[in-house]
Amino acid sequence: MNNPEIKSLFKYKPLNNFTLDIIANNRIYYPKPESFNDPFDTQCSFKNSSAIIEANDQDKIKKAFPNENPNEVLAYTRKDLTGDIDSFKKELKDFGILSLAEDEKDILMWSHYADDHKGVCIEFERNNSNELGNSKVTRKVAYTKNYPSMNVKSLLSKDGHEKSLMRVLYTKSEHWSYEREWRNFQADGGKVYPIPGEILSITFGARASDLDIDIIKKLVGHSIPLYQAQLKENEFGIKLKKIV
C-alpha cells in the first residue's frame, strides 16, 4: 500500500438525504466529472493527432518495394488517431470519481464542502484489504500548472491507454492543492456503489444543529464514534470534541 502512514481518508458533506444514505446503507454516489464544480477536471491535451506506426499491408509493401522480400522490409505509415482521442476523452467523462481528503480539520474544506460548518466529515478506513489502500483504484491527486500532455501513440496499446487514463484522472490544477485530495474511481459513473472503506467516525461541523446531531446519534447508536469541530481559542484552527 502506498503512503501507509495515511490510515484514513475523509469526505466532507452537507447533511442531507444523500449523506444519511451513506451512513445508513454504507453506499456512496460516484459522480461523473461533468457535475464537478471545476470544469477543468479531467481535461487533457495531446502533442499530436497522428502517429507513425509499422505498416502491415503486404500488398502496398510489394508495390512500393517490388524487388524486395516483403517479410524483410520494415515499412511505416502515418495514421490519423483523431477518433482514438475522441473516444479516450469520452471514456474519461464516463468515470465515476469519489473525492476524499487527507485531513478532517481543514478550515477551507469545512466551509467549501460541508455547508459552512453545518454539515459533517465522514472518516473512512484505509488499509491493505480495502479499495482505499489499493493503488490501482485509489491514489493521491497530482497538482500541476498545465493539462496532462500525452503522445497519442500511447493510446494504441492497452497498457499505454490505461496509464494515460490514470494520469488524467489523478491530475488537477495547482489551484486546488490545498484540498490534498485522493481519488477512488469506478469506470461506470453516475451511480451508487458500496463505500470503499469502513466508516470509522463522523465529525459534525461547528455550526451543526442539535437536531441534526440527534438524528445521527439515533441512526448509528454506539457503533460509530461521533465528534464535533470546535474553533481553537487563540489561533485559526479546529479541534475535535467527542460527543457523549
The whole-number average pLDDT for the span 189-203 is 97
Q: Does the residue 164 lie in any domain?
A: yes
pLDDT greater at residue 69 or residue 187: 187
Q: Is 210 helix (H, G, I), strand (E, B) or coil?
A: helix
- Cα–Cα distance, 192 to 89 (Å, whole number): 23
Residue 72 confidence (pLDDT) above 80: no
User: pLDDT band at residue 199, thresholds of 50, 70 and 90?
Assistant: very high
pLDDT above 70 covers a percentage of the chain that reads 87
Q: How high is the pLDDT of residue 57?
A: 53
DSSP letter string, 42-100: T--EES-SEEEEE---HHHHHHH-TTS-GGG---EEEEE-HHHHHHHHHHHHT-EEEEE
Q: Is 152 helix (H, G, I), strand (E, B) or coil?
A: helix
Q: Does the residue 193 lie in any domain?
A: yes
Give the amino acid at 150.
Answer: M
Q: Does the residue 64 lie in any domain?
A: no
Q: Does the residue 2 lie in any domain?
A: no
Q: What is the pLDDT of residues 33-63, one digit of tens each?
A: 999 999 999 999 888 766 555 555 555 545 5
Four-point Cα dihedral 186, 190, 196, 198, nearest 10: 180
Q: What is the pLDDT of residues 92-147, one digit of tens each?
A: 999 999 999 999 999 999 999 999 999 999 999 999 999 999 999 999 999 999 99
Q: Does the residue 206 lie in any domain?
A: yes
Q: Does the residue 68 lie in any domain?
A: no
- Asked which of 54-58, 218-222, 240-244 is least confident by mean pLDDT, the reply is 54-58
What residues does 13 pair with on adjacent strands?
120
Domain count, the chain: 1
Q: Please give the residue range of the domain that contains residue 176.
A: 8-47+83-242
In terms of Cβ atoms closer than 10 Å to its own Cβ (0-12, 13-18, 19+), residue 143 is middle
- Cα–Cα distance, 97 to 168 (Å, whole number): 12
Residues 228/243, Cβ–Cβ less than 8 Å: yes
The pair phi, psi for residue 108, each rounded to 5°, is -65, -40
What residues contact residue 8 under an 8 Å CB cut-off, 6+ apart? 104, 123, 124, 125, 126, 200
Give the amino acid at 221.
Answer: G
Q: Does the residue 172 lie in any domain?
A: yes
Residues 19/119, Cβ–Cβ less than 8 Å: yes
Q: How high is the pLDDT of residue 51?
A: 56
The whole-number average pLDDT for the span 167-190 is 95
Q: Does the residue 29 lie in any domain?
A: yes
Q: How far apart are the first and last CA of the chain?
A: 34
Q: How high is the pLDDT of residue 66?
A: 60
The whole-number average pLDDT for the span 168-181 is 96
